[in-house]
Structure 1
């Protein structure tokens, strides 16, 4: 009989620990991911990617009819299309952290992402 109560007590502690741990993980504040979009070293947009509920696009017009379409999603950002000849910025895909920025050299666009714990690289686009 005593072993039964010990087993019930251990099970209750494990279940409560599991529920409490799950609640903590699910309700832990996510670090902000701030996307910064620059054109000719001028900050055009600053977007908290963790607060994006629905994806949307931003059109950036440049010199001589240049145009870039930026796709903004929850937690990540990418260059959807660009009028530059090589489309390397589009081929780079999505970014969600500050490791590498997206750069469109011909159209002078730079997109970087920084979080509370990391800083983005400061890259000059000429």
Structure 2
């Protein structure tokens, strides 16, 4: 339908291509790091950003390029954790229904099972 025709025309910055190979297991690991190991952190510094992405999953050069050229556009050396998590999830190869579940879990702050 119409929704597919719009999303099919979206372009991805080349430095984000690494995430198009991420499947369910990589996204779950990534989201777990963001929610469980950086739970109180909303603004990420470079080392936290690199930790969130997973140093074994994204090389140093790519990580720094993403931080500086994609996410830290105001050049304050901080990036929004939720923006990063949304972009990575959106560009991953997991199907759309699974992405919806990931986003629900990401924004279900009070663990009540609904968003408001």
Q: Which has the higher contact order (CA 8 A, sep 6+)?
A: 2
TM-score by length of 2: 0.28
Instruction: Looking at secondary structure, tell me which structure has more helix per residue.
Output: 2
> TM-score, normalising length from structure 1?
0.26
